[in-house]
A and B are shown apart, each in its own frame.
Chain A
Amino acid sequence: MTSLGADTRATEGPIVADKNCEKIHHITESIRCCGAGTAADTEFTTALISSNMELHALSTGSKPRVVTAMTMLKQMLFRYQGQVGAALVLGGVDATGPHLFTIHPHGSTDKLPYVTMGSGSLAAMAVFESGWRANMEREDALNLVKAAISAGIFNDLGSGSNIDACIITASHTEMLRNVEMPNMRVQKERKYAFRRGTTAWKTENVRDLVVNEQITFVGGDAMDTT
């Protein structure tokens, strides 16, 4: 079983561009990829590798493997010499078992039991280092991931908003979008809508745009699909 987690903040310099973006991308049914770094690079790279993985699976006829996605990603990122700013955490379950990889923008990869990437990676890694054990149950793993992402959200300015999680097992994948929303906006104390009658009006003239309506039945038979 592999669990992935991500926050949902996309920044443009010091400004939050997207308060609820999706950072866990789909590679195949049982393989997901979290993307940190330049948003366009991660989205396009993961979409491209997802397409290639699908073609590869159709061509080989067997369930796609996580190492295949990792190899495709690392070869592409190495070719671009780090200009494609995609720092990825790739995780999934395939016929050989659960795997977790991290891929840096220049193309280096690591296979590890727990990884973090992005600006909040130090905060999240601190939580992992103190809390991770081998062979955790689903609930424990999910709580640990949520704690790690929360650490990033509350202690790092580049991360924020909500927590997304994804649990991948051999049988099925569970995407938990916005599993926790610790940063909901408080309801405003006043209502700022204008009351009816704020603008004075003198006359009212309602014109019906439909002047004359005639219904004519055409054909009437089933769709011709020859």
Chain B
Amino acid sequence: MIGDQQRKVMSEQEEKGQTSRAVLSTVLVARDSILVTTCHTRSSYAFTPSTTTTMEPSYRIVPGNQTKSASIQGTANSLGLHDTLRHGPRSLAAEVQTEGGLKGRLENWEATQDNAKLTLRRNIYGMHAPMRLLMERKIVSQTSPFVSAMSPSNLHLDILMGRDETIEPADIFLGMENGPSLDIHEQLRK
């Protein structure tokens, strides 16, 4: 795993008693290649996902075209055809249509703008700046399992994200598609 390689490199350098720029650049390169965003959205656009711990550096202000949900590259077998035994029947609709359009744009708006700001901070102040902000957000969004049953509002997170003094349609049209799950056992299990 990339994380292990990072740690290995760092421990070697520490043994030698140096903290060289090579280590820093390794960390930067490794971070660049991490594309996984671990955001848990509770509903489509009622709550903006802001607990990503990594970011892909991008100056995009507006969300780009969403990737298609299925592609022949992912499901092709050695003969170049869609592998039905492994991946089920082929659905041309999934390969051609994207879910996106306006829905994807609205869902990803906050995250894309936020990403642009974090990228600028990174380029101006250094790698640590966005990481510190993401760390603070992650700390603040670790809520108790009983919160979502009562009122799913995180004031500290709102302040950190800069939305404590604005009203959005999400604040007015409360209500997620499923509603808050009243099953505490499910939440404790997570």
Tell me the A residues contacting B by CB distance below 8 Å: 48, 51-52, 55-56, 59, 79-81, 83
Contact = CB atoms under 8 A, between A and B. Distances in A.
A52 to B, nearest CB: 5
Given A48-B172, A79-B109, A81-B105, 17 more contacts: A48-B167, A48-B168, A48-B169, A51-B167, A52-B166, A52-B167, A55-B165, A55-B166, A55-B167, A56-B165, A59-B165, A79-B105, A79-B106, A80-B102, A80-B106, A81-B102, A83-B102
Contacts of B105: 79, 81
Q: Which of A56, A79, A80, A83 has the most CB of B within 10 A?
A: A79
Q: Which of B106, B167, B172 has the most CB of A within 10 A?
A: B167
Interface of B: 102, 105-106, 109, 165-169, 172
- Closest 3 pairs (CB-CB, A-B): A51-B167, A59-B165, A55-B165
Please report whether the interface of chain A is mostly helix, strand, loop or mixed according to DSSP.
helix
Contacts of A81: 102, 105
A59 B162 CA distance: 12
Nearest to A81: B102
Nearest to A50: B167
8 contacts: A48-B167, A48-B168, A48-B169, A52-B167, A55-B165, A55-B167, A79-B105, A80-B102
Nearest to B109: A79
A56 B163 CA distance: 11
Contacts of A83: 102
A14 B102 CA distance: 29
B65 to A, nearest CB: 13
Nearest to A58: B165
B117 to A, nearest CB: 14
A53 B86 CA distance: 55
A108 to B, nearest CB: 15
Contacts of A80: 102, 106
A27 B102 CA distance: 27
Contacts of B167: 48, 51-52, 55
A76 B116 CA distance: 18
A48 B109 CA distance: 18
B101 to A, nearest CB: 9
Contacts of B172: 48
A120 to B, nearest CB: 29
A199 B172 CA distance: 53
B108 to A, nearest CB: 11
A39 B172 CA distance: 19
A59 B165 CA distance: 8
Q: Which of B109, B166, B168, B169 has the most CB of A within 10 A?
A: B166
Nearest to B172: A48
A51 B105 CA distance: 24
Contacts of B169: 48
Contacts of A48: 167-169, 172
A52 B164 CA distance: 11
Nearest to A54: B167
Contacts of B109: 79
Contacts of A79: 105-106, 109
Contacts of A51: 167
B22 to A, nearest CB: 43
A51 B109 CA distance: 21
A52 B166 CA distance: 5
Nearest to A55: B165
Contacts of B165: 55-56, 59
A169 B168 CA distance: 30
A52 B168 CA distance: 9
B111 to A, nearest CB: 13
A205 to B, nearest CB: 53
Contacts of B166: 52, 55
